[in-house]
Amino acid sequence: MFKGLLGKKLGMTQVFDEAGAAFPVTLIEAGPCFVTQIRKVKKEGYAAIQLGYLEVKEKKLTGGELGHLQKRKLPAMRYLREFRSKENDIKVGDKVDVSRFEAGNRVDVVGISKGKGFAGTVKRHHFKGGPVTHGQSDRTRAPGSVAATTTPGRVFLGKRMAGHMGSERVTSQNLKVILVDVEKNLIAVNGSVPGSRGSLVMIKETRKQ
């Protein structure tokens, strides 16, 4: 059975089990989504299922997006995302909701991490930094040497340095589903997921069992 959903991160809270133990969970308002396209290996070269999420006004979409949905007699939706899957238990136009998941399932949650702006090497790459004594008054959070003065005499590509931090696609893997509320379209997963409140996330069956 295909297990994939688009949703909106609501925030974190905690739940208690029967023994009274607390679990930190992230609440996600997931779905309902519509199947907008099914890609097949013979035609596109790979198998995937495209879902649409969050109905909006038609003027919010481009002409191509609107035509893509109108051709399939679907409402205008803000987000279209693909899930690699070979499952054939759904078809174009079907509605997908949180009922496809149940407590105890393991999922991967994909989102865009919070943007931190320009950050130094200590914050961005967890560098140790220099000593605070022996005359080092202004080099505590400096990156140190970045290249040799002779051969090869250049900075190698990929050198960890200061720069833009965050706003990247991040996947939280193998999270346990703690709670599923079909009536409210809510799903709670154990642990944190990338992104800020209100940001789009993809929930899919974990790749690492």
Question: What would the two tokens of residue 124 be?
Answer: 């961005």
Q: List Cα–Cα distances, 143 to 25, 73, 137, 154, 157, in angstroms.
A: 36, 56, 14, 16, 16
Q: What's the one-letter identity of residue 154?
A: R
Average pLDDT over residues 75-81: 93
Q: How confident is the model over 2-43, as pLDDT tens digits?
A: 999 999 999 999 999 889 989 899 999 998 999 999 999 999
- pLDDT above 80: residue 194: yes
Token pair 């999270």 is found at: 175
CA atoms lying within 13 Å on the CB side of residue 169: 3
Q: 4-117+163-205 falls under which CATH superfamily?
A: Translation factors (2.40.30.10)
- pLDDT above 80: residue 151: yes
Q: How confident is the model over 87-126, as pLDDT tens digits?
A: 888 899 999 999 999 999 999 999 999 999 999 999 999 9
Say which residues have a Cβ less than 8 Å from residue 60's Cβ, sequence separation at least 6: 76, 78
What average pLDDT does the chain have? Answer: 92
Q: Where in the chain is the domain with CATH 2.40.30.10?
A: 4-117+163-205
- Report the DSSP beta bridge partners of residue 179: 188
